[in-house]
Amino acid sequence: MTARQIIIDTDPGQDDAVAILLALASPEEIDLLGITAVAGNVPLALTQKNARIVCELAGRRDVPVFAGCDAPLKRGLVTAEHVHGKTGLDGPALPEPTMPLRGQHGVDFLISTLRDRPADSVTLCPLGPLTNIAAAFVKAPDIIPRVAEIVLMGGAYFEVGNITPAAEFNIYVDPEAADIVFRSGVPLTVMPLDVTHKALTTKPRVDAFRALGTEPGRMVAEWTDFFERFDKEKYGSEGAPLHDPCVIAHLIQPWLFTGRHINVEIETTSELTRGMTVADWWRVTDRIPNATFMGDVDADAFFDLLTQRIGRL
């Protein structure tokens, strides 16, 4: 099996960081071509820095990291320091990164990579607001049919919203960008809150990361300890949902996830329901299916995979 060539677009974020580590720990399945940072959980200056910190934690100073868009296409930036802390990676003390940020804009890296490589060879893995992806599609529409697949974390249906009653954060921050991506015709696999809220960091699961006895294992445990306090208080749950690693786990073991190929459209006009992913789960309309919208995950197998792979670093 040849490794799938991917670009991770991300707003680290503790869960983004775990997703990046999982990708770097899985070279048989994943060839990470680069990381493009986007403003989301925290401003761009921090997300691009955090992406470099995570690469260095994995000993991978070779991974090119680019800064993308610092604000949504048409709206002001909404951030989530209340969840991720002011640095975006609160929890453990972290060293300043020493690897350089690449000079090319993240959107231009997306465009040049998709133009330079064979059509249908590159998968895009957005873990934050879809601003960079949409900006690339607007600037260079010729790249759209060249994208093999987009596997993204975002949206919600049965689980409803986490930043408003109607919307999940990544889609809420830049609904116009999400609308461009969901209408693009690119094959979409969506990891919404409906599935990520079933991948909860229980104490035994966090203890398993700590028991690895490695620096990455300790970091993941301490990030999780910090990250989960918000969701445990809000939902009264046993742990926090590890949202973004679901995207990477799907590339490695897709059979862990189940969902439906349905129509999903994005609310961009109403301020009450801005960013809602209107998922036609029961196929009550004749709208054309455009996304595989996941609804379930084998959580024990997911965490077994995550722990085993993080243990490789």
Cβ-Cβ contacts under 8 Å for 129 (sequence gap 6 or more):
11, 38, 39, 40, 72, 170, 171, 173, 174, 177, 178
Q: How far is the CB of 128 from ligand RIB (least distance, A)?
A: 5
Q: Would you count residue 239 as binding ligand RIB (CB under 6 A)?
A: no
The one catalytic residue among 197, 243, 250, 261: 243
Among 88, 91, 106, 128, binds Ca ion (CB under 5 A): 128
Among 66, 137, 157, 169, binds ligand RIB (CB under 6 A): 169
Q: Which of residues 100-119 bind ligand RIB (CB under 6 A)?
A: none
- Residues forming a β-bridge with 122: 5, 147
Q: How far is the CB of 236 from Ca ion (least distance, A)?
A: 23
Among 228, 244, 267, 280, binds ligand RIB (CB under 6 A): 244
In the bound state with ligand RIB, the residue whose beta carbon lies nearer, of 25 and 127, is: 127
Q: Would you count residue 228 as binding ligand RIB (CB under 6 A)?
A: no
CA atoms of 187 and 112, how far apart (whole Å): 20
Cβ-Cβ contacts under 8 Å for 140 (sequence gap 6 or more):
111, 114, 115
Decide if 243 is catalytic. yes
Among 130, 153, 256, 266, binds ligand RIB (CB under 6 A): 153
| Residue 167 CB-density burial (10 A; 0-12 exposed, 13-18 middle, 19+ buried) | buried
Query: Edge-to-edge, what's the strand order for the sheet holding 4-10?
Result: 65-67, 30-37, 4-10, 122-126, 147-153, 188-191, 291-297, 257-262
Among 16, 149, 194, 231, binds ligand RIB (CB under 6 A): 16
Q: Would you count residue 49 as binding ligand RIB (CB under 6 A)?
A: no
Please tell me whether residue 68 adopts helix, strand or coil conformation.
Answer: coil
* Partner that binds at residue 275, options ligand RIB, Ca ion, none, CB closer than 5 to 8 Å by kind: none
Q: Would you count residue 26 as binding ligand RIB (CB under 6 A)?
A: no
Backbone angles phi, psi at 178, to 5 degrees: -60, -40
Q: Would you count residue 309 as binding ligand RIB (CB under 6 A)?
A: no
Torsion, Cα of 124, 125, 128, 130 (10° steps)? 20
Number of residues that bind ligand RIB (CB under 6 A): 15
Among 4, 6, 8, 15, binds ligand RIB (CB under 6 A): 15
Catalytic residues: 243
